[in-house]
Amino acid sequence: MRVELLNLGDLNSLKYFITRVLRGLLLLLLLEQAAEK
């Protein structure tokens, strides 16, 4: 992650970025669980 993004100080975009990453990780976990069955 580049430092310039944090220097913008935009908490809303930071929250949005984190939420997108967390959702992506959750989807990957669900896909892996489904593939194992």
What are the extents of the domains in the chain? Answer: 3-36
d(CA 21, CA 25) in angstroms, rounded, equals 6
**pLDDT value of residue 3:** 59
Global model pTM greater than 0.85:
no
Question: 3-state secondary structure string, the chain?
Answer: CCHHHHHCCCHHHHHHHHHHHHHHHHHHHHHHHHHHC
If one compares 36 and 30, the residue with the highest pLDDT of the two is 30
Check whether 1 has a pLDDT greater than 70: no
